[in-house]
A = this chain, B = another copy of it.
Amino acid sequence: MTELELEHYLHKHIPLLRAIGMWIVSIDGNTVVLGAPLAPNINHRDTVFSGKASVVTILSAYCLLHLRLTALEQSSYVVIQRNSMDYLAPIVGDFTARSALTPGQDWGQFMAMLTRKGVARISGDAILDYAGADAGRLTGEFVAFGKNRL
């Protein structure tokens, strides 16, 4: 799946992203970087509203899992089960969210479980970056359902 295909997929299925003005910075097998502007969605302090930062970080982690499964031609879908998020610094301009598997997660074991049981859990992280510094940190726990559960 190319960046353009992912962008088309996301905007089609999650219309909220248009309102946010989110874009895809880069994707590969190990990380997804999404970008979002300060405007037009600012909060009462002229900083990025925490809810919007939360949306973009959750999505970058979700996209990584979606892309990895799509690359393997897995008929599956991914849902988030839990997340925790730390807001480390105010964001007063365009920002990015960069995702990766949570350290220690075993992709091979996850795939084996998904194939065998039709359901498997995995964790993804995302870091919010503003002006070259970490502005937030998310850990998300996701569940993937395989084709026999669709």
Chain A contact residues, CB within 8 Å of chain B: 9, 13-16, 18-20, 40-45, 49-52, 54-56, 58-59, 62, 77, 79-87, 90
Contact = CB atoms under 8 A, between A and B. Distances in A.
State the oligomeric state as a number of copies: 2
SS of A interface (majority): mixed
Contacts of A90: 79
Given A19-B19, A41-B14, A43-B14, A87 B79 contact: yes
8 contacts: A9-B44, A14-B41, A14-B42, A15-B19, A51-B54, A54-B54, A82-B84, A82-B87
A15 B44 contact: no
Contacts of A52: 16, 55
B58 A54 contact: yes
A41 B12 CA distance: 10
B44 A16 contact: no
B77 A87 contact: no
B41 A16 contact: yes
Nearest to A137: B82
A26 to B, nearest CB: 20
A50 B19 CA distance: 16
